[in-house]
Structure 1
Amino acid sequence: MTWLEALIIGFVQGISEFLPISSSAHLLIAERVLGISYHDPTLTFEILLHFASLLAVLVYFRKELLNLAENTLKYVLKRENEHKNDFRFVLLLLISTVVTFAVGKMLENTLGSGITNFSLIAAALIITGIFLVFIEHGGFKERKAQGDISIRDACWIGVAQAIAVIPGISRAGSTLVGAMMLGLKKEEALRYSFLLSIPIISGLTLLKLTSLDTLADTSILSLGVAFASAFVFALAGIRWLISMVQRTRLSYFAVYCIALGILVWVFYGNEPAAVSSAFMPQGGRI
């Protein structure tokens, strides 16, 4: 892989990871359109891209994460009641994470080879667009703040996020829709979605590391360019989504996803897509 191809793949991964447009679908479309592949037998490149996205969200939310960690530790060690809500919030994130991995693996097993088809990806992109319209114009009753999220809510949000195992279904979009259908305020649903991405991306990266035997043959320059590109554009994507949610302009992403889904359906139809398992190592791939 050349440094230019690495730059493109890093850009696609970074900008689409946290926007409600499905990073997995965009990576597959980019591979098909440009005739390049970001996969390598050793998984080094994929792990690097995931780590860049993880680092971006950690950097952006570093103050809030440090505060959550500090307050959770204070509650665990000293049982200080004023920090109980933060401790409970962290537990809810962990519950959502466990549910996501469990349901996601079940969906993968159920869908099987059907998940590797561009027609399914196209349909999923269109569904993502419809989801975003619901977020913007669905008239959800925003009645819950952070302290009102229940264990049941956390489980359902985990289920909603697991649906994103299907390329074309946006993790951010499905999580936002699931949270808002449960009554969370839009800003709180967005915050939960971003913070929930941390254990999810961390878990996927660790699963990939279990299959890493040797380093990739990709040049250090290409790896560095891909990492820097993914990191910078992931930060940009986070800022962009927060801004669009605040200004109630998610409909733009909805139009984009629906249009892209139609184009993919028209041009690529039933062509197979090189999708690998998202949740468990299989044959050296994830």
Structure 2
Amino acid sequence: MSDILRALVLGIVQGLTEFLPVSSSGHLELTKWLFNDTSLAEDSMLMTVTLHAATALATIVVFRKDIAEILSDLLRFEWNGGTKFALLIIVSMVPAAIVGVMFDTILTTLFDRQIVLVAFMLIVTGLLLFLADRAKRTEKSVDWTDAILIGIAQAIAILPGISRSGATISTSVLLGIDREKSARFSFLMVVPLILGKMAKDLLDGDFSATTSAVELSVGFVAAFFTGIVACVWMIKLVKKAELKYFAYYCFVVALIVLCIKTLGT
């Protein structure tokens, strides 16, 4: 597989799976496994940062009106809806930030072709999606306790195979939060976290293994545009309570991976 085609595939996979509840990290690991990519996580750090930047930008584009409204409220320097929402986002980031800092070395080893782990975590993701689809519809908004619990779900979703959007949206819906508000909060809460993770990777990462500008550009564009499509589509699916179809997908992928690994040993 050529480097350009590999970058295109990784970009499409990242763009789709960052927003669709099927685990972007898990699918990137599966993609590398299928194409026999033996590079370590740190060897592809620059591409990883680039793809995350693309999906963060895609989120900003989709929710540009919401973000502009929040920033406008913050600039008034008074307590209002935007200020509260921003603080809720910050509160939700704390669990994942703690896990990311304290267990960074351990987490890195989990992103090194741990395919069986990915398969079992996809099953967990599927079960969460099934439960969320069966939850009752409400019009509740996110409160402080909800933000902490959703943040814990996001921290757990650092594991490859646990979908971040699937875990946070499912947790929100199971807490009785309105489905559209759940999706909005889930996608907006990840932007500062992605930017923070990118900054950390840029400061601490080893970029001795170079990736060409063309590869990075192809990966970025692919992740950005597919990310926009996936984000808009996901919002509609959450409102219609159609997450169970992604649960079926997670189960099927997990079963295929486990079968291949079992037969290959």
- Using the size of structure 2 for normalisation, the TM-score is 0.89
Whether the 8 Å contact between 1:9 and 1:38 is mirrored in structure 2 is no
Alpha-carbon distance, 1:236 to partner: 1.3
Specify the alignment match of 1:128 in structure 2: 125
Specify the alignment match of 2:200 in structure 1: 207
Structure 1 stretch 85-94 or stretch 29-38: which is displaced more? Answer: 29-38
Alpha-carbon distance, 1:220 to partner: 1.8
Percent sequence identity is 34
**Matches of 2:111 and 2:132 in 1, distance apart?**
25
Whether the 8 Å contact between 2:41 and 2:108 is mirrored in structure 1 is no
1:131-170 alignment runs, 5 A limit: 131-137=128-134, 139-140=135-136, 142-145=138-141, 149-170=142-163
Whether the 8 Å contact between 2:43 and 2:207 is mirrored in structure 1 is no
Q: Structure 1 residues 109, 187: CA separation in 2 closer, same or farther (over 3 Å shift)?
A: same
Specify the code of the residue in structure 2 equivalent to 1:133: F
> What SS does the aligned partner of 1:47 have?
helix
**Matches of 1:165 and 1:53 in 2, distance apart?**
16
> What SS does the aligned partner of 1:58 have?
helix
**Matches of 1:193 and 1:119 in 2, distance apart?**
27
Among candidates 116, 122, 131, match of residue 119 of structure 1: 116
Alpha-carbon distance, 1:151 to partner: 1.8
> What SS does the aligned partner of 1:41 have?
helix
**Matches of 1:162 and 1:51 in 2, distance apart?**
20
Q: Structure 1 residues 205, 62: CA separation in 2 closer, same or farther (over 3 Å shift)?
A: same
Specify the code of the residue in structure 2 equivalent to 1:207: K
> What SS does the aligned partner of 1:166 have?
coil
Specify the code of the residue in structure 1 equivalent to 2:183: L
Alpha-carbon distance, 1:182 to partner: 1.9
Alpha-carbon distance, 1:150 to partner: 2.5
Whether the 8 Å contact between 1:107 and 1:165 is mirrored in structure 2 is no
Q: Structure 1 residues 40, 111: CA separation in 2 closer, same or farther (over 3 Å shift)?
A: closer
**Matches of 1:60 and 1:112 in 2, distance apart?**
30
Whether the 8 Å contact between 1:43 and 1:211 is mirrored in structure 2 is no
**Matches of 1:186 and 1:150 in 2, distance apart?**
15
- CA deviations on 1:157-198 (whole Å, 9 max, x unpaired) are 100111111111100011012212222111111111011011
**Matches of 2:216 and 2:106 in 1, distance apart?**
35
Residues 1:52 and 2:37 are matched in the alignment: no
**Matches of 2:254 and 2:210 in 1, distance apart?**
34
Specify the alignment match of 1:274 in structure 2: none
Residues 1:4 and 2:5 are matched in the alignment: yes
1:184-195 alignment runs, 5 A limit: 184-195=177-188
Specify the code of the residue in structure 1 equivalent to 2:82: D
**Matches of 1:40 and 1:94 in 2, distance apart?**
28
Alpha-carbon distance, 1:248 to partner: 2.3
Residues 1:21 and 2:22 are matched in the alignment: yes
> What SS does the aligned partner of 1:9 have?
helix
**Matches of 1:45 and 1:38 in 2, distance apart?**
12
**Matches of 1:182 and 1:205 in 2, distance apart?**
30
**Matches of 1:151 and 1:270 in 2, distance apart?**
48
Q: Structure 1 residues 104, 262: CA separation in 2 closer, same or farther (over 3 Å shift)?
A: farther
Among candidates 85, 97, 100, match of residue 96 of structure 2: 100
Q: Structure 1 residues 5, 157: CA separation in 2 closer, same or farther (over 3 Å shift)?
A: same
Alpha-carbon distance, 1:39 to partner: 4.8
Alpha-carbon distance, 1:112 to partner: 8.8
- Using the size of structure 1 for normalisation, the TM-score is 0.83
Specify the alignment match of 2:242 in structure 1: 249
Q: Structure 1 residues 190, 269: CA separation in 2 closer, same or farther (over 3 Å shift)?
A: farther
Query: Where in structure 1 do 4 or more consecutive aligned residues deviate above 6 Å?
Result: 107-112
Specify the alignment match of 2:73 in structure 1: 71
Specify the code of the residue in structure 2 equivalent to 1:87: T
Q: Structure 1 residues 121, 3: CA separation in 2 closer, same or farther (over 3 Å shift)?
A: same
Whether the 8 Å contact between 2:168 and 2:186 is mirrored in structure 1 is yes
> What SS does the aligned partner of 2:56 have?
helix
**Matches of 2:255 and 2:262 in 1, distance apart?**
10
Return 5+ residue gaps in structure 2 as ranges. Answer: none
Alpha-carbon distance, 1:258 to partner: 0.8
Q: How many residues align?
A: 261
Specify the code of the residue in structure 2 equivalent to 1:96: S
Return 5+ residue gaps in structure 1 as ranges. Answer: 272-286
- CA deviations on 1:218-240 (whole Å, 9 max, x unpaired) are 22211111111111111111012
